[in-house]
Structure 1
Amino acid sequence: MRNAPHLLLNTPDIEIWPGGLLRARSNHDARLLAQASHVLRRKCDGRYLAAQLPQGLMALITRLPDAPGIEHALSVLDAHLSQPARVPPPQGELPLHQLQDRLDQLGLDSDDYAAQTGLWLIAEPAHLVLAGFDRYRRPLWLTRPAARGWQRMRAAAAGSGIAMDAISGYRSHDYQLGIFERKLARGLSVPEILNVNAAPGFSEHHSGNALDIGAPDEPPAEESFEHTEAFAWLQQNAGDYGFHMSYPRDNPHGIVYEPWHWCWVGVD
């Protein structure tokens, strides 16, 4: 079997991770993950479903065939494994119909929200590439051009004596839905949550092109980032690498000022 590339293969219900990047949750997991070329991970709760081992697929849950989306995920994995390592996976985005169902459950009308905020529904990419690791040593997943732009930009900043790190990159719709569900469980209302969090499906992080950037010894995702040398450097140079700050003060979307949030939009 070929060596697993550093690609995250994405499906509506399941992420297919390359081996060696997921944290083991038990000694049994550690032994399996050490051998696995790929691991299937459920998006809604992070549960490991199956591992692709040299001898074949091993289920990590009972009744694996009944897991939602497993048939599609296995077909994606099989297609990937059948391709030569040098052949990139197909481009594309995932469908949005499952997200619409979840928004309905939250009582959110996506058309009304889009009209009020000027934001739009963002589909998840069908695959992402490993762009390094974030501040917390978690894999940083971005689209290929955003990953290339981030790596070049960070290296250029370092060459000027400016240190910066990633706080987070790609986030799934399920991740954003989880934020809402946890805050609802604490007693907040949907309108209160929307004051500080974009509705699920409307965050730029879903695209794989956005990342939150921090500076050493600075707390993550705080307005104080604007006083750092890293922020000053980004204001002057980020555009050269295709990045722009999405939510300046008094932005038309009604989102709080986020000097740490930058999105790759391409170089003119």
Structure 2
Amino acid sequence: MHRLPARPLKSILLNTAQIELWPADLLRVRSNADARAVATAHTVLRRKHDGRYLAAISHRAVQPLVPRLRREPGLGDAWDALDRLEAGGTRGFDAGAPGSLPLHALQDRLHALGLDEAYGERTGLPLVAEPAALAFAGFDRYRRPLWLTAGAARAWRAMQAAAAREGVSLDAISGYRSHDYQLGIFARKRARGQTVDQILTVNAAPGYSEHHSGNALDIGTPGEPPAEESFEHTAAFAWLTGHAGNFGFVLSYPRGNPHGIVYEPWHWCFVGAATS
């Protein structure tokens, strides 16, 4: 088994193609068996495509939570991610440059759905790589951990605090979403008999969502339903329109956007620097 890390994983999600490495205290645990193991762990390995917890890592042991952990696909990449964190600490990550995951595995899965580069050319949407690490940015409206890139996390917290000082409440609806999450939507809908073309009328193709980058954020305000055009008429949206650019956020899909995506007043993306 892998050597134990010297430091706990705190406020950082390490991301690999098949496995995520979570700070244990940010996870919701459903089964009693997992709860006992996670309670004494600092890091948990989580399978991306179905959310299954694979192993709990404490200072004293790696406790498998599935049979045949050693044969788990992607386990070597997960250990390598821990080793890189051990070797370099969080310096590179805090500087906002954690790197990105390769796209070749996603492209193979897109081809299996009958999708190729023509989809991106038709919509004008780029293929988006996942970050190799993400920062804890607080909790969303549903008390789920919110993960963003380090820069986007700092900017979101600063923007949320600035709005609050002016009496405006901003809450996060969702942030980072993996390719596997989007692929899961397609798998479930296809199992119900929908075709890929039918699914694409309401869901972006896996790999083409800004949420994969860790820089995009769906924003709401208390008392307003999530991801509805009515958000446009709130004080929160008015504040964002006037101030979000000061924190490096832009509205990605205004009315008449060239991608053919419906107007999304709730969807904002961090572009890395103040825009005004």
Matched, 1:120 2:122: no
AA partner of residue 18 (structure 2): D
TM alignment of 1:166-185, pairs within 5 A: 166-185=172-191
CA distance in 2, matches of 1:83, 1:255: 40
- Aligned twin of 2:84: 79
| Alpha-carbon contact 1:196-1:256 (below 8 Å) kept | no
Give the match's secondary structure for 1:20.
Answer: helix
Cα RMSD between the aligned structures? 1.4
Change in Cα spacing, 1:139 to 1:74, as seen in structure 2 (3 Å) is same
Matched, 1:103 2:110: yes
TM-score normalized by structure 2? Answer: 0.93
TM-score normalized by structure 1? Answer: 0.95
AA partner of residue 24 (structure 1): V
| Alpha-carbon contact 2:9-2:22 (below 8 Å) kept | no
Deviation at 1:81, TM superposition (A): 3.5
Question: Which of 204, 211, 222 is the matching residue for 1:216?
Answer: 222
- Aligned twin of 2:33: 28
Question: Which of 146, 149, 153 is the matching residue for 1:147?
Answer: 153
AA partner of residue 87 (structure 1): R
CA deviation digits over 1:78-106, x for unaligned, max 9?
Answer: 3323555x534462100001101110111
| Alpha-carbon contact 2:175-2:214 (below 8 Å) kept | yes
Deviation at 1:222, TM superposition (A): 0.9
AA partner of residue 223 (structure 1): E
TM alignment of 1:232-247, pairs within 5 A: 232-247=238-253
Q: Percent of aligned pairs with the same residue?
A: 63
Matched, 1:262 2:275: no
Name whichever of 75-84 and 243-252 sits farther off: 75-84
CA distance in 2, matches of 1:189, 1:226: 32
| Alpha-carbon contact 1:65-1:71 (below 8 Å) kept | no
Q: Gaps (5+ residues) in structure 2?
A: 1-5
How many residues align structurally?
A: 266
- Aligned twin of 2:258: 252
Question: Which of 158, 162, 169 is the matching residue for 1:163?
Answer: 169
Matched, 1:13 2:10: no
Q: Gaps (5+ residues) in structure 1?
A: none
Question: Which of 125, 129, 140 is the matching residue for 1:134?
Answer: 140
Matched, 1:93 2:100: yes
Moved runs in structure 1, 4+ residues, more than 6 A? none
Deviation at 1:75, TM superposition (A): 1.9
| Alpha-carbon contact 1:195-1:255 (below 8 Å) kept | no
